[in-house]
Structure formats: C-alpha cells, structure tokens
Amino acid sequence: MQLEESLLHLSAEMVCGAYGASGGYRWDNLPYRTSTQLTRFFRSCGLPQYVHDGSTRNYWVFNVLCELNAKSSPHSPLPSPGLIRVIERLVHPLEFVNTDLDRVAAIEDLNNVFRAAGANFDLDKEGKLRQRGVDFLDRGVREAAILLGDSRFAGPDEQFRKAVDFLRGQPTPDVENCIKDAVGALEAIAQLLAGKDAKEGLPRIVDRLASQRTIPGSLAEGIKKVYGYRGDTPGVAHGMTQKQATVDEAELVLNMCAAYIVYLARKLSPKQGRNHIGPRTKGSVAGKESPNG
C-alpha cells in the first residue's frame, strides 16, 4: 500500500527529528539529525544511495520517502520494504544511544501518528512494523488454534498455524499459501470426522457427512464454496492467470476456515463443552495422529 502524502510529511519531520526551523514542528522524543546524520541514518536503513545534498532537510527527506513510497505493492497492507526499514530505524535502540530520549514514548508517538492517519499498521513494543489486527486475531481464529492443540489434530494444527504465519508475514503476507493451508487444515479435520478411510477431496467428504446427517447440507455447501474459492484462486491451486487474491480475501478465508474447523472439531468431541479440548501432549508428532486418534 502507498502512504498518503500527509503521513509522508509527518514521517519526514520525524526523520529530521526534534524540531524544525522557526518551530515549524517538534518531536521531543526523537533525536535531531544534521545533514551528515541524515546520510548516516539512511545508510543504516540499508539505503546508501540517499546522500543529503545540503538542501532543506525536511523537503529532502520528504522527497526520499516519496521515492520509497512509489515502490509499494498494491497487494500488501504495509508500506514498501524501504519505508518499513526507515520507520523501524526511527525507533531502533541504537538511535537512542547517548541520549536522554524516551524510546518507548517515541514508539507511541509514531503509533499515534499512524492511528490519526487511519493507517492499518503500527509498531509493536520491539519497534517492528506489523499489520494492525493480524496480531489481534479474530476470536474464531484463536478458538480454532486452541481446539487444534489437541494431540489428535497434530496435522491440521500444523497446517492452520502455517496459514496464520503466512498471513502475518512481513513485510508482505503470503496470501496464496495462507489460503492453501487454511483450506488444507479444514480438509484434514473433515477427513478425521469422516473416518480414517476417507481419502476423497473435501467436497466429496462433506457430501458424505451431509448424507449421513452428520452436518446439515447447507453447511456442506458452504464448505464446498470455500474449497471452490481455493481452486479458483491464482497461485493457490493454479497458475497466475487471473487476479491475485488480496490480504482481505485471505483473512476472510482464514476466518471462515477457522469457524468451520471449530464446528467440525466439536463434532469429534460431542461430550466436551466449548474450549475444553486439552492441549497437545509433548509426545505427539506434527502431521501424525496420536494413538488415541
């Protein structure tokens, strides 16, 4: 995603640090940078091509940030890799050595700016940029992760965790693999519910579960539609011949799969209440059922 111009102006001020000419701006928790220090700052960001030319600091930094902003991917919820390095470097511990500045307050200053600008990202306490919301996963995803902690669900659990990790990927989430593994985890749970001999794909498995009245036919159709979306999505089951899936679509599929996984997993433990499936035992092996499966 590309940042708005107003946010780039504020970011340029923060890179310059502390204060501007004639009190034009003030960032009390960030260090002031001279011309030489600006060049050194961008070198520390892995951007040695940007050497300050002696012009007005704020305008020069703004133009650099605009160049970096133009390299942003429309498929990513985060800024370009170059901008991410700049933002994270602003609160890197080494930038606060031999100063009496408050790094924690500086992180909060940046997050306040991001929130005011309506950005969907912020800095965590370690100073790493993250997509806002991904670290605070929806309730359904968290509940699925808890249920899949049971030792019988080692295989689906591994796939589901990979799906979550792919969506968390920085600086660019891997939406195709998120979708693939989320649906894969759902398919694995359905196979467990259908029995050890269930070798068919997910559509046939849920059709059989519906015919056995294990699940309603309408829910079986919903699961098949999620599977169908996976099959239609470029880069997931086929080549990149159509429009790529977006992060929002991957997040939606992940949450839909989570809801279905919770529903089917409870079918495997009908005597247990909500959130009462125990954690995986230390002796279980990822990708294999325990002897109790």
Token look-up 């995803």 returns 141
Check whether domain 139-267 has CATH 1.20.120, yes or no: yes
Mean confidence (pLDDT) of the chain: 82
With a cut of 90, say whether residue 224 has pLDDT above it: yes
Q: What does the pLDDT read at residue 25?
A: 77
Domain boundaries, the chain: 5-131, 139-267
- For 154-181, the pLDDT digits (tens) are 889 999 989 988 887 765 778 899 999 9
Q: What is the pLDDT of residues 228-262, one digit of tens each?
A: 888 665 445 444 435 578 888 888 899 999 999 99
Q: Do residues 258 and 138 lie in contact, with contact meaning Cβ atoms separated by under 8 Å?
A: yes
Its pTM stands at 0.51
Taking the C-alpha atoms of residue 180 and residue 175, their distance in angstroms, rounded to an integer, is 9
Mean pLDDT for the stretch of residues 134-143: 66
Q: Using 50, 70 and 90 to split pLDDT, how confident is the model at 148?
A: confident
pLDDT-derived band at 75, boundaries 50, 70, 90 = low
- How many residues are listed for the chain in this entry? 293
Output the six-digit token pair for 198.
């269930």
